[in-house]
Homo-oligomer: A and B are copies of this chain.
Amino acid sequence: VKKIAYLGPKGSNSDQAVQFYANKTKLHDFEEFPTLTIEDAILLLENQGVDEAVVPIENSVEGSVNVTLDKLAQSPNLMIAGELLLPIRYVLMAKRDTNPQHVKKIASHPQSIAQCRGYIRDQYPLVEIVYTNSTSEAAQIVYETQEDMLAICSTNAMHLFDLDVVDRNIQDFENNATRFVVLTQKAKKDQDLKDHKCSIVFSSENKPGRLYEVLEIFKNLQVNLTKIESRPSKRKIGEYIFFADMEMNQREDLIAQIHDLLKYKTSFLKFLGAYPVLSNMSDV
């Protein structure tokens, strides 16, 4: 039985990603391990408590999830085995007798608050924000409190407690979507690389034009980069590592070619995996 860790609790966006992943890959028999933080899910995988961890890596509004990128760069054996792209919708929930005009607090996860920042400012400019570990926890707090408080929940957490819907689709950007990754401890060997993406992370010496020279390699190989992103090296401000995603387009020899060319231009290089992308964006 495959064991899968994810950022919990039940009803979280990551839980929704796990269900979608199981559904798409016809995985009927698996055990779920919800964790309190993204880091805990990855640590559980590293300590071999689970076979896979499903965690967010990028949101279309808030950008990259730092802890996921940092772990991928730091842990030599951590690999990406799959990508899951899901739409994210938020609802505003309240206890039955809450008067919207008396609301003093809004509770949710910091990422969810960030994705509904404009809505909160327009509709509830004076409320106090209460940060929670998940949107499910926000719903629970509102359910249990005596105060005039609202919870911002993902649509899959809205039925966990007996709360009323105050408003729907309150995210600031309609096309709000999140990329999740399925992490494993080593790369799967048996995968067909057709229609796959490949991800790498590298650092270059802090030398003018170095990033340009790296991009030139991809250009010469006619590889399309779908993303390039810098993260601090953490050693010194102004020093960066770079994450790049590229389309594989059935070119199974590409990884070896990139490796041969990139090793001369980088001081650190790690392949994060070649993996399929499963998208639920058309179901919106």
Point out residues on A near B: beta carbons under 8 Å.
39, 58-63, 66-67, 85, 110, 114, 117, 121, 129, 131, 133, 173, 175, 177, 179, 208-209, 211-212, 215-216, 218-219, 222, 224-232, 234-238, 240, 281
Contact = CB atoms under 8 A, between A and B. Distances in A.
Contacts of A173: 234-235
17 contacts: A60-B237, A61-B232, A62-B232, A63-B66, A63-B231, A67-B114, A175-B235, A175-B236, A209-B215, A209-B219, A209-B224, A211-B215, A211-B228, A226-B238, A227-B230, A227-B238, A229-B229
Chain A, interface SS category: mixed
Given A85-B237, A212-B216, A218-B212, A63 B232 contact: yes
A211 B121 CA distance: 35
Given A59-B232, A60-B236, A66-B63, A219 B227 contact: no
A212 B209 contact: no
A225 B281 CA distance: 36
Contacts of A208: 222, 224-225
Contacts of A175: 235-237
Contacts of A133: 129
A211 B240 contact: no
A153 to B, nearest CB: 18
Contacts of A177: 237
Q: How many copies does the complex hold?
A: 2
B179 A39 contact: no
Given A58-B237, A66-B63, A211 B225 contact: yes
Nearest to A179: B237
A80 B254 CA distance: 42
A150 to B, nearest CB: 18
Nearest to A87: B237
A264 to B, nearest CB: 18
Contacts of A60: 232, 234, 236-237
A228 B225 contact: no
Contacts of A228: 211, 230
B85 A110 contact: no
A131 B67 CA distance: 17
Contacts of A129: 133
Closest A-B pairs by Cβ, 6 of them: A131-B131, A60-B237, A212-B215, A208-B224, A177-B237, A173-B234
Nearest to A216: B212
